[in-house]
Amino acid sequence: MPSPLSSASKQQFRPPWSTPHTVRLKDPGEYPASTSDSPDANDPSQHRPGARTGEDGGRKAGSYGGFEESQGVHPDEDERVTREQTLRDSQKSYERKIQEVRDKGGLEALLKDPKIVVTVRDVKQAVPNFKLLDPRHHAFARFVLPIAESAIKSQEWSGKEHPEDNEAKSDDKKGGDEKKDVGGKDGERGQNKNEKKDEEKEKDTEDGKESDIDTETERMLSIVIEEIRVARTLSNNDGKVHAPLKLLDGDAEEQLESKISVDDQATPDSWIPRSKHLLRLTGKHPLNAEPNLTALFEAGMITPTKLHYVRNHGPVAVLDWDSHRLSVSVYTNPELKGEGVSENTEFTTDDTGEFVATREWSMDEIADGQFHVVELPITIACDGNRRKEVNMIKRSAGYDWSASGVSTCIWRGIFLRDLLLATGLKTGFESEEWFLHMEGADQCSEGTYATSIPLAHAMDPTNDVMLVFGQNGRVLHPDHGYPLRIIIPGFVGGRQVKWLKKIWIAKEANTSHYHIWDNKVVPPMIDSKEHPLASAFFHLEDSGCYEQILQSIICKPSHDERVPLPTGEGGLDQPYKIEGFAYDGAGTKIQRVELSLDGGNTWKYCLRRFLNKPLRHGTKHWAWVFWSCEVRFGDLANCQEIIVRAFDTKKNTQPEHLTWNVMHTVCIYSNSWYRVRPSLETDPKTKQPVLHFRHPVAPGQDKGGWMKPNKIQSQSQNSSNKTFSLEEVRKHDKKDDAWIVLDGRVYDVTSVLEWHPGGAGAILGYAGKATAEATNEYNGIHDQYANSKRDECFIGVLSKEGMDAMRKDAERVSKELAKLKEERKDYALQPDSYIAVKLVKRKEITHDTRLYTFELPKRPNGEHGILALPICQHIKIALHFEDQAVLRSYTPVRPVLPHEEDGTFDLLIKAYLPTEDGPFPPGGTLSNYLDVMQEGEEIDIRGPNGHIIYKGHGEFEVDGKSHRFKKVNLVSGGSGLTPHWQLIHAILSDKSDEALISIIDSNKTYEDILMREELQEYADKHPRRFKLWHCLSKPPENKEWKYTNGHLDKNIMEEHFYAAHDGDAATFLCGPPGMIQKAAVPALKEMGFEPGKTLFGF
């Protein structure tokens, strides 16, 4: 059964499992970039030395080394050559193996060939771990296997038994502890510093006498004078790069999220670390999320990467720096052929007769080659920013973005025009309209994401259109296009293609689905894509959104904020500072921001704050401005609304009111005056007056805000008033009988499953459940047509009791999680997110059992991390496949007690290796993956998990209920020993714990007994407190054996266990399902143990 990724042919191949598995881990010395004795080991910036810097300070070829050499660092050339050679060798090896797979008909054909078995080991060993080899360019990487676990499990092999035989086997049913889970600054406000005002203000004087002006006029005058001063200091940003791309150090914690959310574990994005501060708008997948508006503003004028809004149309493309290539095709001159733009350039002729040059560019050629590298702060906003407000008027096809779908980062890259010219682009675009087409590597529901812009715009040097590979000093985050994306300053986000893989020139605009049907503004009369005129208007290029539109937002006071009203004499005259931001497209300057407290009758001038060196080319402003305006508390208390509007350099301003559009993009319709409404209330705790502020809508999917949904459009035309209980709904959770609950309304969606565009699985996950999550996900991605089909399925409403139960259960779960997170805030292991842990040691215990030691992330103060796993609980490990994370649960055998904490933990794992003739030749998924991991590689864990906790002195907490037992029986099998070991070790290490233990440990052979010596040592040392008995299927040869030869049965348990009738005995089980379910549980029930009372399974 040869591996398709092996270099051996079928005829010559020798199955690796015919001999004992020996896995050679590469010595750390083979990876110079990571060895302690490397000359550059303590300087992570030594990636590509030998750079040079342009005369204008711009970064050019080998730019990272250029910075280092300017600091007096002289990297060792041999180290550089070795490192880069290792990268090249790994990449070539990977490409050869991929080609072998293609030569054999592709992976799909191999999976169907019963003569070949693909294993997790094959895939893991075939794919290089670029994060180990090239950490600077793979900072965010989690290792992702480019295959689905289901593809491995469903492949054909000789003698495979199928479900129809009613004897289907699963690799994970071999037991052990491998349990499967189903579902499987400069000007920055972040520093909280405002520029000091001049102590001596300039004043309007005449004949040396100060003018008689009121307080408001004086305030206005000081603002104008300050703006005049600021205007004189505005200067150009030269884009100079001052440092190499950083590793995950320094300000990484401030900028990035290291944990992986449980919300992503069952999606293809399971490998991406995402901030819990991002508010999801569309359920779990694909990710579309925004930060809280207050958090966004308080983070400062440069948005931390982890708070940048995310707009994805499908799974994030799994790419790496070293193998990614950008294909570029341009119209060129025939005479260039032969003279050579590059030896890597191909020449063809397209359908219009144009001569075309095509070249593939590597990331190193783009980032470290001949091109001028720049770094610029640029604001990007989602086309649909503030769409949630418009959806309150009438539901559109767009997501519920509040006002925080906008961010400003420092983007590093090269100018696109330079790359086009280097590829051989000829002149001609100046005299006729050509289009620049861009395509990403992401595979979305409607195909690949692609769009186009006028080529002339990209070729204009003053537009700064960039190919970007860096964000806030590091490589791009996966959600933002790693390793390469387009940044078009002043354009809407929908044109700025991420995961860029292809660029080409054409004389017609793009015709892909997303270019035609996304990012368009059509006349309001077109209320759905089914309208007779919809197709014509959507295909009209002039309907497209390109340049960003004028926008201003109030951030302070924040939504739902309550501000105490000053009391006492002069209290209402005290100032309150209102703050926010504003931005525009096309590089247009925000020329003025105004605030009104009287419905727009009068306006107050606001003070603007710019980034340092905000200009490009003397006039272009690519980043937002922050603004502020001080008002009297008395005026705030008496106003109905706080309104803001901005003006551009042509004195254009925002419209007063919103206008509805089926797509609701930001381009025209959702940039009206932003309004915050205050109300005077009494604080229930202090009994003092407070001002309660409400924004138009609440952040994310939260309810609230002063705007209310249009009641007519939110009500179904179906007038059924039938009521269903929660119990009734739960009965309908099958493919042939599926009900779902949306906004408290019940729908029979059985008929929809066959044709649902997202597949039946997208619905069945919510069938028979009454959860707010279903409503949130539905509302985020469905249009008018979907709503009409939904309404056809309406059958009634959820009962009041059902709604109350839903709400109470959600509150209970939320409170329990919040409490647990607070208790564990100082520990590495977290209940709702995955952390990366590093393999630091691997020890072979037996031919198929390994002891793995993993290192926890260090704490912020530099001290080692703390696991703090409650006794008898386990952790979940996530292995990332291309479609989702595969989860398994394991119980560490160390640390068990607090004094054993040293920043690492041990897992004792039995590897279910591939077999030639076994029932499941590929072997266990996660155990095989771990078996071929290299030291230094990482894997993700989460916890604590499990429903049993040992509190000490015989007290157990099971599902939140307390139980106390003086005598404890343990049924163990294989690596199911590990939770029992925690319990044994904890009890016997405490002399004051009087609990008695009896364990029966079952294995196939003597060599299979885990922790044999440790168990025997405890049995010899504590004969009264700890009784040990073994059962072996095959007795050892040439050894004295006093224990049972054979399988576990009732007689053995009656002989060695504490009896149930004692009243203070309980039995806990962990081992292979067959042994537990068929042998142990039935016999223990006969012996008087009751499930849930005195009989429990880990």
Which phi and psi angles does 1055 have, rounded to 5°? -75, -35
Helices (H), 117-242: 120-126, 130-133, 149-154, 215-233
Report helix, strand or coil for 1096.
strand
Report helix, strand or coil for 162.
coil
Using an 8 Å Cβ cutoff, are 1067 and 1096 in contact?
A: yes
Is 444 an active-site residue? Answer: no
Please give the distance of CA 108 from its chain centroid, rounded to a whole number.
29
Is 891 an active-site residue? Answer: yes
Is 1070 an active-site residue? Answer: yes
Using an 8 Å Cβ cutoff, are 319 and 499 in contact?
A: yes
Cβ burial, residue 1093 (10 Å; 0-12/13-18/19+): exposed
Nearest of 322, 270, 269 to residue 130 by alpha carbon: 322
- Structure token digits, residue 400: 């519920």
Distance between CA 265 and CA 274 in Å, rounded? 12
List, in sequence order, every residue forming a beta bridge with 782; answer none if it has no partner: none
Any residues with CB less than 8 A from the CB of 395 and at least 6 apart, and which? 713, 714, 784, 787
Catalytic residue among 874, 980, 985, 1030: 874
Catalytic residue among 750, 985, 1070, 1094: 1070
The 10 Å CB-count burial string (b at 16+, else e) for 48-64 is bbebebeeeebbbbbbb
List, in sequence order, every residue forming a beta bridge with 596; answer none if it has no partner: 643
Catalytic residue among 451, 891, 978, 1094: 891
Using an 8 Å Cβ cutoff, are 53 and 66 in contact?
A: yes
DSSP states of 634-702: HHHHH-S-EEEEEE-TT--B--SS----SS--TTTTS-S-EEEEEEEEE-TTT--EEEEEE-SS-STT-
Distance between CA 1033 and CA 1048 in Å, rounded? 9
Using an 8 Å Cβ cutoff, are 315 and 285 in contact?
A: yes
Residue with tokens 């289907």: 168
Report helix, strand or coil for 232.
helix
Which phi and psi angles does 331 have, rounded to 5°? -70, 130
DSSP states of 760-789: THHHHTTTT---HHHHHHHHHH--HHHHHH
- Structure token digits, residue 976: 């199911």
Is 94 an active-site residue? Answer: no
How do 996-1003 and 967-973 pair as beta strands? parallel
Any residues with CB less than 8 A from the CB of 715 and at least 6 apart, and which? none
Any residues with CB less than 8 A from the CB of 506 and at least 6 apart, and which? 434, 435, 437, 452
Name the residue type at position 904: T
- Structure token digits, residue 1063: 């009243």
DSSP states of 243-258: SPPP-S-TTHHHH---
Using an 8 Å Cβ cutoff, are 1029 and 1003 in contact?
A: no
The 10 Å CB-count burial string (b at 16+, else e) for 908-939 is bbbbbbbbeebbbbbbbbbbbbbbbbbbbbbb
The secondary structure of 428-440, three-state, reads CCCCCCCEEEEEE
Residue with tokens 């001569």: 355
Report helix, strand or coil for 1044.
strand
Q: How far apart are the first and last CA of the chain?
A: 36
Catalytic residue among 778, 890, 912, 929: 890
Distance between CA 696 and CA 454 in Å, rounded? 36
Distance between CA 599 and CA 788 in Å, rounded? 38
Catalytic residue set:
874, 890-891, 1070
